[in-house]
Amino acid sequence: MKKSNQVKQEKKQKKIKLSKVVVSFIIVLFFLLFLVTGLVYYKQDNYWVIRITDIIPYPCVLINYTSPISFKEKREDLLAIKHFYENQDFSKIGLRIDFSTSIGKKKLKIRERQLLDKLIEDKSIELLAKKKGIKVTDEDVKQNLDRKLKEYKSEKDIRKKLKKLYCWTLKDFEEKIVKPSLYKEYLAKKVDSEIFKEYNKKAFNKIKKAKEEIDKGENFTDVSAKYSAKYVADRKGEMGWYKLYQMIPAVANQVVNLTIGTPSKIIESELGYHIVRIKETKGEGKDKLFNMEQIFVSKPLFSDWLTQEMKKMHYQILDKNFYWDEKKIKVEFKDKNLQEFEKSIKDKFPNDPSLML
């Protein structure tokens, strides 16, 4: 009996010891996790932190609390951007891009902020698309990629260019460019056919009435002032001088076949419905200029709808350098000096290619 009690006591003591070991291990594990997490968020450029985030997908951004964008994803895409600019020759326009200088490092920070904005928008579009039952399959991606590859001489050419410019594989191109663009395309079509359906119908009926009046001989500028969106109506349809590449593609495609003084048919673009007329031209070839006027009825924009939907979503940025501005619906620098630097350099150099997406 004593021996039995002794055995039970020893087993109990072993269980207690084992429990203490397990609890101690958990405490140490949580401490290490806390320590590593602190390093990840405050020492992001540290070599070992980079190696850790290559293995563990620490979130840089959380959307609606559960959908992450990782530090690794942001870092890899930023390296691709950096690699792209370092492999371009901007000497022809008298520009040298060097991200290693003091100014260059600040410019790269601006690109990082812009990149986060793009990653957040792409992820938000994907979430909204899935909410509406939209799926982008591997077959969708493959078919779209095949169409893009036909624009090049061979798949080998595009693989070389992706490797040289971005250090990307074809699979990277699919995941980072093709798939997000398809989610955006499919969602925009869904929104246009469902949410904007009635508005688009009214807009088309309005431009149709304008066309009927033009065909009856009514004055073009008067009709534009009567039917066009306010900012066009206020100018009585005057557009000014444009080259073909400066026009919306849908409009440019019609302008090349128009004669001076003859109104176009109704043209639908992503912005709305247009009737355009050439007043005069000058120059030839690529430099040819068209003095244009138009009647324009706007459609609701997908970008406006997206902004409103993103206002309803929750964004938490876990990168120490940035925060989410709920009013502007965009990523902002925490550092006021960087905010002022970005504003000043864009004002002084609006066409700086190193700051363009």
Q: Does residue 315 sit within a domain? A: no
Domain match, 100 and 133 both: yes
Q: Is residue 54 part of a domain?
A: no
Q: What are phi and psi of 321, to 5 degrees?
A: -90, -15
pLDDT score, position 12: 59
Break the chain down into helix, strand, coil percent, rounded to 5.
60, 15, 25
What region does 149 belong to: left with phi over 0, alpha with psi -120 to 50, or beta? Answer: alpha
Domains contained in the chain, number: 3
| pLDDT level of residue 147 (50, 70, 90 thresholds) | confident
- The predicted model gives 66-93 an average pLDDT of 86
CA atoms of 10 and 5, how far apart (whole Å): 9
* Residue corresponding to tokens 């928008």: 121
The answer to whether residue 323 scores a pLDDT higher than 60 is: yes
Which pLDDT value is given to residue 120? Answer: 98
202 and 185, same domain (yes or no)? no
pLDDT confidence of 56, banded at 50, 70, 90?
A: confident
Do 182 and 247 sit in the same domain of this protein? no
Share of the chain above pLDDT 70, in %: 81
Same domain, residue pair 97 and 189: yes
Does one domain contain both 103 and 151? Answer: yes
* Shared domain check, 261 and 218: yes
Query: How confident is the model at residue 321, as a pLDDT?
Result: 93
Strands 330-333 and 322-325: antiparallel
For residue 57, the model assigns a pLDDT of: 85
Question: Which residue type does 68 have?
Answer: P
139 plus 176 within the same structural domain: yes
On whether both 192 and 208 belong to a single domain, the answer is no
* Domain range enclosing 31: 2-42
Of 259, 244, 238, the closest CA to residue 289 belongs to: 244
Query: What was the pLDDT predicted at 287?
Result: 85
Structural domain contains residue 164: yes
Instruction: Please report where in the chains the tokens 């109506």 appear, as a residue.
Output: 233
Same domain, 209 and 292: yes
**Is 17 found in the same domain as 29?**
yes
Question: Which residue did the predictor score with more confidence, 190 or 159?
Answer: 190
Question: Do residue 283 and residue 343 come from a single domain?
Answer: no
Q: Over the Cα atoms of the chain, what is R_g?
A: 29
Same domain, 83 and 191: yes
Entry pTM? 0.76
CATH code, domain with 217:
3.10.50.40
- 209-245 pLDDT tens trace: 999 999 999 999 999 999 999 999 999 999 999 999 8
Beta bridge partners of 316: 62
> What pLDDT, on the 0 to 100 scale, is given for residue 53?
77
User: Would you state the pLDDT for residue 13?
Assistant: 64
* pLDDT greater at residue 40 or residue 205: 205
pLDDT at 2 over 60: no
pLDDT of residue 345: 87
What is the residue type of 127?
L
